[in-house]
Amino acid sequence: MRNYRHIEVRPLAGALGAEVAGVDMARDLDDEVVHEVRQAFLDHLVIFLRDQKVTPQQQVAFARRFGEPMAYPQLKGLAEAPLITPVVKLEQERNNFGGIWHSDTTYLPEPPMGSMLLALEVPPYGGDTLFANQYLAYEQLSEGLRKTLDGLVGISSSAKAEVSKTREDQMKKAGAQLQVLTGEHPIVRTHPETGRKALYTSDAHTASIKGWTEKESLPLLKFLWEHQTRPEFTCRFRWQPGSLAFWDNRCAMHNPINDYHGFRRVMHRVTLKGDVPG
């Protein structure tokens, strides 16, 4: 267990996830605190802060200490803070945003490094988010399958039905036009900061393997998608107003659970720019 001098880090599960205490997002944090928060982020893949009271501008300023905020593709941000994407499910709506296991926007040439999601309004029950450790998912494959996967490239599309439906709902509200985006990335990527290998494919975005037909691709991809989310690779987070989750898209997937029909859920999200997966 790593020793921290300025923050308290409490692991949430054996696979990944930790709650971090001693950080106030509304304040101008010392460099030493920022360094320790980033180290906890790298160690635990997703970290959680509780009881945060911040303006949209303060949330963006906090995010800038860890990376470069970017606009979320195809969706408009807040008028007063364009780099914040509102993630809202209203009482009468049935689909939630991104309600399937995924790493964010892998159909971009440079998918995001991380995402920060702040809870403003949450249902009285339900609406938890699951996270899954993709280092462990890769490391617990057989040596033979790891060798097979090395060098394979996944083709990601923003138009896969399960996830595009929720994006279309958000875009209709905003009056935007849907554009199909595609990206090609290794199915096994090496994390640029830790040097560890992680699986980098998902049912939400990966359409096929480059150079393979869709029919040839699906048996292997379906095996990976089921393997990637085994319970022992996961943690589950219960939201409260003022909770913030900061996850590493390069080595963790997430899945917001859609089990709160009839209740409102309002979140503010900042996405941090990444690099070309390698």
Are the beta carbons of 133 and 199 closer than 8 angstroms? no
Does the active-site annotation cover 104?
yes
Catalytic residue among 185, 189, 265, 269: 269
Give the Cα separation of 193 and 86 in Å (integer): 29
Give catalytic status of residue 269 as yes or no.
yes
From the candidates 44, 102, 189, 205, give the one annotated as an active-site residue: 102
> Is 102 labeled as catalytic in the residue annotation?
yes
Q: Which of 104, 185, 191, 248 is catalytic?
A: 104
Diameter of the chain measured on Cα atoms? 53
Tokens of 44: 């635990």
2 carries an active-site annotation = no
Q: What share of the chain is helix, strand, coil (3-state, %, to 5)?
A: 25, 25, 50
Which residues lie closer than 8 Å to 195 by C-beta, 6 or more apart?
A: none
Give the pairing type, strands 252-256 and 129-133: antiparallel
Q: What is the DSSP letter of 70?
A: E
Distance CA 120, CA 170 (A): 18
Which candidate in 44, 191, 205, 254 is catalytic? Answer: 254
CA distance 107 to 181: 6
- Token pair listed for 101: 């296991």
Instruction: Indicate which residues carry an active-site annotation.
Output: 102, 104, 254, 269
